[in-house]
Structure 1
Amino acid sequence: MKKESWSSMKSIARITGLLYLVIICCGLFSELAVRSTLIVPGNAAATVDSIMSNLMLFRIGFLSDLIMVVADVGVALTFYILLKSVNNGLALLAAFFRLTQSSILGINLLNHFKAILLVSDNSFIEALGSEAMNAQVMLNINAHSYGYLIALMFFAINCIIMGYLFYQSPLFPKLFGILLPMAGAGYLIDCFTNFLYPQYADVTEIIVMVSAIVAELGLCIWLMAKGVDNVDENYRISQ
């Protein structure tokens, strides 16, 4: 049976950290530097004017999210390699949940790009009229927001499973086995709140931001700096 050495695991872990950094940077850029600055909640006309005035930035936001999704697929694979020795079935299940999240995010990006198509082609204004076109743009933007939340439901479950695997693995600090499920719980709370009680979404978003920054950014930095914990040189990961 083919074996992976501890040193190989260290390299894979650092690659995972770099991919995770890409995910974090691209995701934050698209959400905070693009959508949060250009979208005016509840005002379709102002949102369309803002996007049309900064169309290239809105396009870059789409591309940034696309890069994030591609990196996320890579992270699903590398985490599976790193954690399958703990429990192959659970590691595979975690990878499936993360890949499902990536698939939903990728498909959901069509809603973002539909808004680009609508504002960048005058024929839509001529055919629909400005008010209907503005409403259609806002509908796609809102659909993108909720599509993101659906994807995060799968990511939340991934975090909970990963937490158990991290806690059991000798390659990583047990702290991440505690922080990741907490982040997963935060994502679940935020998702259910947005779908059931959207008036409280501002509160749960703060919970998500705090738990995600502590758990995910902390894990990203640790992976890049450390890779994996020092274990016996004879430690092997079975394929």
Structure 2
Amino acid sequence: MNNGLPKISIRRAAIVSGIAILIMTLAAVVATDLTIGPLVIPDNPSVTVDNINTDQILFRIGIFSWLVVLICDLVIAWGLYIFLRPVNKYISLVSAWLRLIYAAILGTSILNYTSVLTLLDSEFYSATFGQEYVKGQIWFLVNNFDTSWSFGLVIFGMHIFLLGYLGLKSDLIPKLLSVFLIIGSVGYLLINLFTLIIPENQELIQILQWIFILPMLSEVVLGLWLLIKAKRFLTVS
């Protein structure tokens, strides 16, 4: 019976991780492409603030979606640690901690959006400091989310690299998928480092996004694969 417990935990960890990865992906799409993303107009703070103020419900849905992403990241960090612990306990632990650090950075980034709502919902700031000041603060907070999240995604890229490395060292993850995870980690690192260091070079950043778009989606494939192949992990010790 004791020998069976680790096997069951690995299977459950695979299922939980797979479900959390897929939910996280859907929530991230809602947050970036369907709610907050369309409201933010690059290099146009006035229109952005007007968009957010006009459609606060959509903005709140976006914040909720980011909270779902955050919770899923915490679950995934735990699940993948359990799943990959038999390969190398220490590297798996480091990988989990990197994802937890990323989640902490994401959490602080989300606070920027909640602060936007505070500014919009209170007439005190507009009456005391003026409407233009409030707009400037909101624009700062929106951009600060992007900057903080980019920093977090550098840490996330390190986490993805270790996932790929552990996959190559075992039979738990297909070798091809592991290679794509490693390539995707390079994409996360390059794109977000350049975003932080040379944000004005959007052309280069967009080129890198197109080059690494498929490898950076490899975690989604990993989530699907964990769900489809979960039964086989009953035999993994």
Length-normalised TM-score, structure 2:
0.92
Kept in 1, the 8 Å contact 2:9–2:82? The answer is no
> What is the number of equivalent residue pairs in this alignment?
233
| 8 A Cα contact 1:48 1:119, kept in partner | no
Equivalent runs, 1:206-217 vs 2, <5 Å:
206-213=210-217, 215-217=218-220
Q: CA deviation at 1:150?
A: 0.8
Q: Tell me the SS of whatever aligns to 1:123.
A: helix
1:90–1:2 distance in 2 versus 1, CA, 3 Å: farther
Give secondary structure in 1 for the equivalent of 2:230. coil
Q: Deviations for 1:196-225, whole angstroms, at most 9, x for unmatched residues?
A: 222132223334433222x12211211122
Q: 1:39 to 1:11 in 2, by over 3 A?
A: same
2:145 maps to 1:144: yes
Determine if contact 1:170/1:231 at 8 Å carries over to the other structure.
no
Q: Give the match for residue 14 of structure 1.
A: 15
Task: After superposing the two structures, state which structure 1 stretch, 1-10 or 73-82, moved more.
Answer: 1-10
Return the alpha-carbon distance in structure 2 between the equivalents of residues 59 and 231 of structure 1: 39
Find the counterpart in structure 1 of residue 70 from structure 2: 69
Could you list the per-position Cα deviations for residues 27-54 of structure 1 after superposition, in whole angstroms to 9, with x for gaps in the alignment? 1111111222101111111111100111
In structure 2, the CA distance between the partners of 1:231 and 1:122, relative to structure 1 (3 Å rule), is closer
Give matches, 1:138-177, under 5 Å: 138-177=139-178
Q: Distance in 2 between matches of 1:124 and 1:232?
A: 58
Are the equivalent residues in 1 in contact too, given 2:11–2:233 (CA < 8 A)?
Answer: no
Alignment of 1:1-239 (within 5 A): 3=3, 4-198=5-199, 199=201, 200-213=204-217, 215-227=218-230, 230=232, 233=235, 235-236=236-237
Contact 1:26 1:67 in 2 (8 A): yes
Seen in structure 2, the aligned counterparts of structure 1 residues 32 and 232 have a Cα distance that, compared at 3 Å, is closer
Please, which moves more after superposition, 170-179 or 153-162? 170-179
Structure 2: stretches of 5+ with no match in the other structure? none
- Higher mean Cα deviation, 112-121 or 49-58? 112-121
Secondary structure of the 2:213 match is helix
Distance 1:85-1:34 versus aligned 2 partners, 3 A rule: same
Whether the 8 Å contact between 2:14 and 2:79 is mirrored in structure 1 is yes
- The CA distance in 1 between the partners of 2:122 and 2:71, in whole Å, is 28
How far off its partner does 1:183 sit?
Answer: 0.8
- Alpha-carbon contact 1:97-1:154 (below 8 Å) kept: yes
What CA RMSD, in Å, does the superposition of the two structures yield over aligned residues? 1.9
Query: Under a length normalisation based on structure 1, what TM-score does the superposition of the two structures give?
Result: 0.91
> Percent identity between the aligned chains?
26
CA distance in 2, matches of 1:232, 1:53: 52
In the TM superposition, residue 231 of structure 1 has moved relative to its aligned partner by 6.7
Unaligned runs of 5+ in 1: none
The Cα offsets for residues 81-101 of structure 1, whole Å up to 9 and x where unpaired, read as 111111111000101101000
Deviation at 1:120, TM superposition (A): 2.1
